[in-house]
Structures are given as structure tokens and as C-alpha cells.
Amino acid sequence: MAEHALIAMRGIVKRYPGVTALRDVSLSIEPGEVMALVGENGAGKSTLLKILAGAARADEGVIEVSGQVVQVHSPRESQAHGIAVIYQELNLANDLSVAENIYVGREPKTRFGTVDFNAMKSGASRLLTSLGINISPDEIVGNLNIALRQMVEIAKALLVDARVVVMDEPTSSLTEEEVETLLTLVRQLRSTGVSVIYVSHRMREIFEIADRITVMRDGSVVGVCDAQTTSPNDIVQMMVGRELEDLYGIRTVPVDHTATPTLEVRGLSSGSLLHDVSFAVRPGEIVALAGLIGAGRSDAAMTIFGAVKRRRGEILIAGQPMALRTPNEAMAAGIGFVPEDRKHQGLFLGLSVRENMSSASLPRISRLSVVSQRRDRELARRYAKQLGLRESAIEVAAGTLSGGNQQKVVLARWLARLPKLLILDEPTRGVDVGAKAEIYQLIRTIAGEGVAVLVISSELTEVLGIADRILVMREGYGVGELDAAQATEKRVMAMATGVQEDGS
Amino acid sequence: MTSNGDFVKQETHDASSTKQFAPAITRVALGQKTLKGLKKIVTARESTLAAVVILLVVYLSWASPYFFTSGNLTVVGRQIGLALIISVGMTFVILIGGIDLSVGSVVAFVSVLTGVFIVNLGMSPIVAILLALVGGAVVGLVNGSINAYMGIPSFVVTLGMLAVARGLSLGITSGSTISGFPSEFLFIGQGAYLGIPIPVWVAAIVAIAAHLVLTRTTFGRHVYFVGSNEEAAKLSGIRVRRVKISVFVIASTLAAVSGILETARLSVGQPAAGNGYELLAIGAAVIGGASLFGGVGGILGTALGTSLLLLIQNALILLGISAYWQQVFSGVIIVGAVALNMWRKQRN
């Protein structure tokens, strides 16, 4: 161990009106170390990172770089100390090229004061190659997938000689395969002596790359563990501060396999992304659509829900063929749909939790188009209670809630319609462990009440943990179906990627 | 510091003594409820604006002997009324994240139509008014349909309509004005009921109805949903296109109402009417707290914004400041009000 930590935060206290977000938090990172920072949403991780990034100021405490106390009062000062923060929301100009994004604000100049595009391109190219990233510097960023965009962001950070790279949930929207690419890059960084602070909810990744793990809860650090000598279960328990019951729950009501399927899809095709997909979901059954991003899972969901135009194929609801040309028709047929992208497709962020919850049930709580204020409030209260949201949150803007609570609001919207079929696209993305368990429990409960559930998820452990049956998709085709009993991560992955499994 | 502390002490003392005197629990509960309601009013987004408007009225009554004359109040009231009708329609469009630049030209178009129907064709005023309203509604239908079905931004669609409707008005009249309206028609612009000008009555009814529609009906909710997040609205089963078209029809129809009243007030149908009204209406809605990104705003704010802009205009006239300077003030107020709003939001 070096004499001085590369970066050390000591005794950090941050108070907001009414709450203490951080109490006496200390964190230190050695050169070339990957430090995982974990904790439930609201544990104070984001606040701590904001202080490190110079986006917020600590009320007490100091930040040291190589043993020297430094002032970090603006993002610029933070960068000057070699700290680069990569936020969940990427800061890239989607219409510009990779090279232009990497050099933004630091463009090399020619003798005449114009931008030296050649120097920029070759510089970017060298940087990308050294990181093992295989993208052309001329590529327009908007054409890249999320993982590659993230890599561009990392490259951008390293251009200014970052000594520590902070990644805030970098894999939350990546597929398993993309995650691997990112983790390889993290290892690459470590080998060149760059330190990484890695914030994530995903235990598997954390244990794959972290040297040490700092666990936060309620604004304090509750432990710093050596990744070699700790188990994921220990970490999860430290995070939630209680014994975590089996996360996914177990089926209590058996599925009636003779029942008419609530949803049956035959030869479904739409656009270029969905080809001849067939499957069925019975009442009370939980079926998962697994596959890589772009495999057509969300398109299948959107097509069933009438949000994407169906080209060919049949959709049967309770045995009856249905047109389902619009979301409205799908809703009338008893389908509910929790979309993948909560912020852009799910929530009305600026409107209250109450308005969000009743948004799909207005006709039921209105008479002659006049919304009954009383029934509106009752609906919100009932579902807030059922989903474990505080009653005081009902009139608050949905955008101010944590990821887990936001997801509960979207779920409430559909539960309020008492659906026969509920389609959940990435139901636990960006949701902390505690809320995840609650959402799984909720899925179990509604399935137990006879609702057919179709879950789309990029987290294989989630797919295996919750589903009775798994349909694997690849490049728009259904490539196989597995019973929960016979499914393993390896088998699903092999089907999803099309790589032959060896030894089975 | 000390005086401040004393003041607080005084207040708490007062509060406890009122509690002591309250004879029954219900009285206390009722008091708390009104207190809570009062707090809600004071902290509401519109309260600052309302305070500014009230202060301005107080100042004007003090600074100018003419402000509180019935003549001046009638003129100001009528102006506010005519502008408010348009601003209310604009608020609907802004709430869905759109903008309608054609309302000023609709005023002209409807003014000309009314003139043609009543004066040139000799129709009865009631039939003429109804037909003129239909004319206004059709403009909105065109705006909304192009916006909703072809996905052309409302800014562009209505910018085109601004030119088209103005051009139609000029073309129909060859640029001249139409006069010779019967007195029963002129009454709706110049007359009064219970001492209050007719346009003020109409504006009040329109504003109250619009407020109720936005806050109490499913359509109102849909407007906010579409403005807040169009994609989410679509995936919640809301017929987004229908909402969009309706909103543009409302904006144009209300502009038509204002145009008819203004024609009656001025006794002429003129193709130059309504010039720049769209900017006044947008300014009023924005001062009232509406967000141009949609999903935020309300009729109360818009009404206060309209009043503020027109009272300032009136103030400049009464205080003898040249009319040429008026726009400077309006512009500064619009940006200032939005800056204030954003500053408040950030502090929260």
C-alpha cells in the first residue's frame, strides 16, 4: 500500500434542509484499485460522488489527493485533480462524431486557429486503441449502442489524464454481453494504474472486478470489505441492515396448465425487429422473455400492447383473436404494460404521484368526464398503501421519488386497472435491492391472483429467479423455450447469443 | 436581531391565546383548516404574481388620478378581457408543449369574415357570429391535424398559418376595412351588463370554464399528460392526436371569439386586426408560470399574467410615458418573470 491514498475523503458531512445526507463519511482509494461503492438508493452514494465531483459542497470534512488537502468547489477543480465522473445520464453530443465528443472543449488547433481535425482523429484513434475499444473515431455517437457510448465517455475522461474514474451505475442499461466489454475496460484501466470507483447494484459484477467494497447505509459507511473474503450475501445484508428473505420469493399457487392461455401469440411479426414469434402465457403464470438488447423483446411487448404496428400473426386474449391496434384497445382487452424506460415512457415526472397513478383509470373515477376528486385520492391512497409508498408522497411530483418508488407508481397505474395480463419490461432497472424484493413479491402476489405476467429482463439472475418459463429471443426470432427447472444462466446465454454450449 | 426575536415571540403568544379562547375542538380544527388553506394560497406559485398585480393597482390609484375613473377601468377591463380570451386558448396549447403563432391572424381573419357576413351579405348577426366561429375552429383543425398527423412542429405549422390567415384576410378585403355594422352587433363589443363591459363577462366565463376543464375533467388531465410526457401518455392509452387537435381548435376558436368582440368594439372588420396578439398571449401564459416545454401552467397564472401586461401598458399611458417605449417594458417583464420563476424553482 502506498503511503498516501490516491484520493481520501475524510469526515464528510452533508446536510440538506431537514435531513443529514452524509454523516462522517470517509472513503479512500489506492492507486490502481477498483473500489465498489454500494448501498440502497438514498444511502448517500450519489451525494458523496457529487461532492467528489465538485457538484456539491460538503458542510464538513476534507478531500485529500495524494495526502494533500484540496479544495473541490467546482467540477473544473475536481477534473484538475484527476477525478473524472461518468454519470448514468451520459454527457455526449449524439449528432457529433466520437472524436469530436472525446475532444469536446479541448479541441487541438492548427496554426490558423481552426480545429485540427486530423490531429483530433488520430489522437482519438490512439486513445481508443489503447483502451481496446473498437470504434471508428468518425462514427456518429448517436449510432452507437449505450455500452459503446459509455466507452466514449470513459475515453473522454481519460484524455485529461484522469487518475480516478468514477462510474455511477454504468451497467444499468447494458446487456450481459455489453457488461463484459465494460468490465474488461475497467480491468484495463486498473492495469494502467488508474483507480475506479464503481457504483452498482449488481453483486456479480462487483465481485468480478472490485478489490474492495465500501457499503453505505442511511448516509454512513457501514463497512469496507475485501472482495476476496466477503460474500454477496454479507454485502446485501449490510446494505439493507436486515436479513434478506429469499429475494425472488417462491410460487405458492400452482399454475393450471390446462387453462386457456390469457395471452397467446402466433407468428407475430412487426417491422424489421420481430419475426414469427409464438408463445403463450396462462393465468397466474410468469413467463420471461430473455435475450440480448435488440433481440426484439421490447418490440414483442410493444406490438402486443398495440404501440407498434403488427405486420403478421395473431394475438389471442383468453382464446379470442384480437386486433389490438392501439394501446387503448390493448387496455380494453385487459392488458397492462410497464415500459422499459421509466423516465421517457412511463412517468409524468412533473405531475403528482396521484395523477400518475390514476392516469390509466380516469374513465372509472369520472362521471360525464368530470374526475371525482374523492375517488382520485382514494385510488392513490389505496395503491400507495398496497405498494408501500408513504401517504405523504401522494401529492409529490413523481420525478422527485427514488427509482424504486417511481417504478411502484408505474406499477400502481396498471394494477389500478385490474389487468388480466401484465407486461413488465425491465421492472427492476435502476431499483435498489430492497425495492426489488418488494417488486418481486408484488409480481408473485398478482400472479397468485390469476394475472398472467410477461416479464422482460436483461438480468439473467432475475429471469431465472422469477419466471416459471423462459422464452429466449435472438435477432427478432424466438429461439427456444425453457422451463424454470431446466434453465441455467449458461443455457439461456448460449441460446441468446447463438453460441453452441459445450458439454451438454 | 432582537426586534426580530420579539416579533416571533409576540406571534406565538398571540397564537396560543387564540387557542385558549376557542371554545370547542371543532373551532380549532376549523381554524387549522383555514390556516392550512391560507398557507396553500400564500405558497402557491401564483401568489407572488397576484401580489405584484395588486401592488401595481394600488400604486396606479395613488400615482394617477385617472386610473380609478370608471372610464379608464372600462377601457382597461375590456382590453384585459379581449386579451385574456386569447391567452386562455394559448395556455391550452402551451400546456401540451406546443405554441400557436396564428391566433393574431385568426383575429383578423374572423374580423374580416364577420364584416363580410354581416355587412356585405346582410346575414343576421347571430348566424354571422356562429359562422365566423366555425371559420376560427377550422383554422385550429388544420393547425392541429398537420401537427398531430404529420409531426410538423407546431411552431412551424402555426407560423405558416400566421401568414396564410393574414393573407386571406387581406385578399378577401383587398386590404380595406369593412364598416357599417348594425348597433345590436356593436353592443357585444361596446355595451355593458350591470356596469361591466360585455367582453369582461365573456372573458370571465371563458376563464372559469377553462380552469374547471383543466383541473376537473379527464380532458384536462389528458392535456397535462400529453404535455408532461407524450410517449407515456400514448402508452397510458391516451389518444394523443385527438388531444392535440382539440387543443388547437380551442385556441383558434377562442381567438375567434376575441376577434368578433374586438370587431364589435371597433365597429370595423379589418384585415390588420390582431397584429402581435400571439406574442402578448404567449407572454401572459409564460409570466403566469406556464412552461414552454409543456405540462406546467394554469389559467389563474395566465389571467394574472394578462392583467399584469395590460396594466403596465395602461400605467405607461397614464404616467405620460411615450407609447413607443411600451414594448421595452413588456419584454423586460416577460423575461424577468420567467427568471424569477426559475430562481424560485432552483431554491426549492
Distance, in Å, from the CA atom of B142 to the CA atom of A252, rounded to the nearest integer, reads 57
A345: nearest CB among B218, B225, B232: B232
Instruction: Identify the pLDDT of residue B30.
Output: 59
Instruction: Identify the pLDDT of residue A390.
Output: 87
Question: Inter-chain contact B237–A350, Cβ cutoff 8 Å?
Answer: no
Bridge partners for A289 per DSSP: A456, A471
- Output the CA–CA distances (angstroms, integers) from residue A384 to A40, A396, A412, in the order listed: 20, 12, 8
B219: nearest CB among A344, A346, A369: A369
Contact B72, B318 (CB under 8 A): yes
pLDDT tops 60 at residue B6 = no
Instruction: Identify the pLDDT of residue A292.
Output: 78
Distance, in Å, from the CA atom of A321 to the CA atom of A315, rounded to the nearest integer, reads 6
Length of chain A: 504
Question: Inter-chain contact A350–B239, Cβ cutoff 8 Å?
Answer: no
Q: Give percent of chain B above pLDDT 70.
A: 86
CB atoms within 10 A of CB A400: 12
Q: What is the pLDDT of residues B315-340, one digit of tens each?
A: 888 888 887 888 888 888 888 888 87
Mean pLDDT calculated for residue range B261-289: 93
Instruction: Identify the pLDDT of residue B43.
Output: 59
The DSSP 8-state label assigned to residue A346 in this structure reads I
Length of chain B: 348
- What is the model's pTM? 0.78
Contact list, B239 vs chain A (CB under 8 Å): 326, 328
Among A24-33, B94-103, B257-266, where is mean pLDDT lowest?
A24-33
Q: β-pairing, A320-322 with A312-317?
A: antiparallel
CB atoms within 10 A of CB B56: 16
Question: Inter-chain contact B221–A345, Cβ cutoff 8 Å?
Answer: no
CB atoms within 10 A of CB A274: 26
Contact list, A371 vs chain B (CB under 8 Å): 216-218, 220-221
Best of B213, B223, B231, B236 to disrupt the A interface by mutation (most A CBs within 10 Å)? B236
- Output the CA–CA distances (angstroms, integers) from residue A244 to A240, A403, A439, B226, in the order listed: 8, 20, 14, 40
Q: Is B234 on the interface with A (CB under 8 A)?
A: yes
H-helix segments, chain B: 2-21, 25-43, 45-63, 70-95, 103-115, 125-150, 154-173, 183-190, 198-216, 218-228, 230-235, 240-266, 277-287, 299-318, 326-347
Question: Inter-chain contact A351–B228, Cβ cutoff 8 Å?
Answer: yes
pLDDT tops 50 at residue B14 = no
A17 contact partners, CB below 8 Å, separation of at least 6: none
Contact list, A345 vs chain B (CB under 8 Å): 229, 231-232, 235
Instruction: Identify the pLDDT of residue B201.
Output: 96
Q: Which residues of chain A have pLDDT under 70?
A: 1-3, 17-19, 41-42, 173, 241-246, 500-504
Q: Half-sphere exposure (CA, 13 Å, Cβ side) for A278?
A: 5
The 3-state secondary structure of B161-200, one letter per residue: HHHHHHHHHHHHHCCCCEECCCHHHHHHHHCEECCEEHHH
Q: What is the pLDDT of residues B61-98, one digit of tens each?
A: 898 888 888 889 999 999 999 999 999 999 999 999 99
What are the φ and ψ backbone dihedral angles of B235, each rounded to 5 degrees?
A: -80, 0
Instruction: Identify the pLDDT of residue A503.
Output: 40
CA distance B131 to chain A (A): 28
Q: Which of A279, A256, A249, A259 is nearest to A267 (CA)?
A: A279
Question: Inter-chain contact B229–A355, Cβ cutoff 8 Å?
Answer: no
pLDDT tops 50 at residue B196 = yes
CB atoms within 10 A of CB A191: 9
Residue of B nearest to A364 (CA): B218
Distance, in Å, from the CA atom of B250 to the CA atom of B89, rounded to the nearest integer, reads 6
Using pLDDT thresholds of 50, 70 and 90, give the confidence band for residue B3: very low
Kindly tell me the sign of the dihedral angle through the C-alpha atoms of A494, A500, A501, A504.
positive
A437 contact partners, CB below 8 Å, separation of at least 6: A244, A245, A247
Q: Is B224 on the interface with A (CB under 8 A)?
A: yes
Locus of grid cell 386457456: A260
Q: Give percent of chain A above pLDDT 90.
A: 44
Higher pLDDT: A18 or B257? It is B257
Residue of A nearest to B348 (CA): A17
Contact B86, B277 (CB under 8 A): yes
CA distance B238 to chain A (A): 7
Distance, in Å, from the CA atom of B308 to the CA atom of B285, rounded to the nearest integer, reads 11
The DSSP 8-state label assigned to residue B65 in this structure reads T
pLDDT tops 70 at residue B16 = no
Q: Is B229 on the interface with A (CB under 8 A)?
A: yes
A413: nearest CB among B229, B236, B295: B236
Locus of grid cell 454523516: A23
pLDDT tops 60 at residue B17 = no
Distance, in Å, from the CA atom of A6 to the CA atom of A67, rounded to the nearest integer, reads 8
Instruction: Identify the pLDDT of residue B29.
Output: 57
Question: Inter-chain contact B228–A350, Cβ cutoff 8 Å?
Answer: yes
Residue of A nearest to B235 (CA): A327
Locus of grid cell 360585455: B198
pLDDT tops 60 at residue B234 = yes
| ipTM of the prediction greater than 0.95, yes or no | no
CA distance B182 to chain A (A): 40
Contact list, A347 vs chain B (CB under 8 Å): 229, 232
Question: Inter-chain contact A339–B239, Cβ cutoff 8 Å?
Answer: no
Instruction: Identify the pLDDT of residue A388.
Output: 87
Distance, in Å, from the CA atom of B11 to the CA atom of A492, rounded to the nearest integer, reads 69
Instruction: Identify the pLDDT of residue A502.
Output: 46
Chains A and B: how many Cβ contacts under 8 Å? Answer: 72
Residue of B nearest to A359 (CA): B236
Mean pLDDT calculated for residue range B208-225: 96
Residue of A nearest to B227 (CA): A348
Q: Is B219 on the interface with A (CB under 8 A)?
A: yes
Q: Half-sphere exposure (CA, 13 Å, Cβ side) for A218?
A: 4
CB atoms within 10 A of CB B71: 8
Contact list, A379 vs chain B (CB under 8 Å): none
Best of A329, A359, A361 to disrupt the B interface by mutation (most B CBs within 10 Å)? A359
Distance, in Å, from the CA atom of A359 to the CA atom of A335, rounded to the nearest integer, reads 15
pLDDT tops 60 at residue B22 = no
Higher pLDDT: B3 or B329? It is B329
What are the φ and ψ backbone dihedral angles of A354, each rounded to 5 degrees?
A: -60, -50
CA distance A86 to chain B (A): 24
The 3-state secondary structure of A112-168, one letter per residue: CCCECHHHHHHHHHHHHHHCCCCCCCCCEHHHCCHHHHHHHHHHHHHHCCCCEEEEE
Contact A194, A162 (CB under 8 A): yes
Q: Is B45 on the interface with A (CB under 8 A)?
A: no
Contact list, B235 vs chain A (CB under 8 Å): 305, 307, 327, 337, 339, 345-346
Instruction: Identify the pLDDT of residue B40.
Output: 65
Question: Inter-chain contact B221–A339, Cβ cutoff 8 Å?
Answer: no
Distance, in Å, from the CA atom of B74 to the CA atom of A201, rounded to the nearest integer, reads 66
Q: Is B347 on the interface with A (CB under 8 A)?
A: no
A347: nearest CB among B219, B229, B239: B229
What average pLDDT is seen over chain B? 87
Kindly tell me the sign of the dihedral angle through the C-alpha atoms of B263, B266, B272, B277.
negative
Contact A186, A209 (CB under 8 A): yes
Q: What angle do CA B31, B37, B40 make, to 5 degrees?
A: 145
Distance, in Å, from the CA atom of B265 to the CA atom of B173, rounded to the nearest integer, reads 19
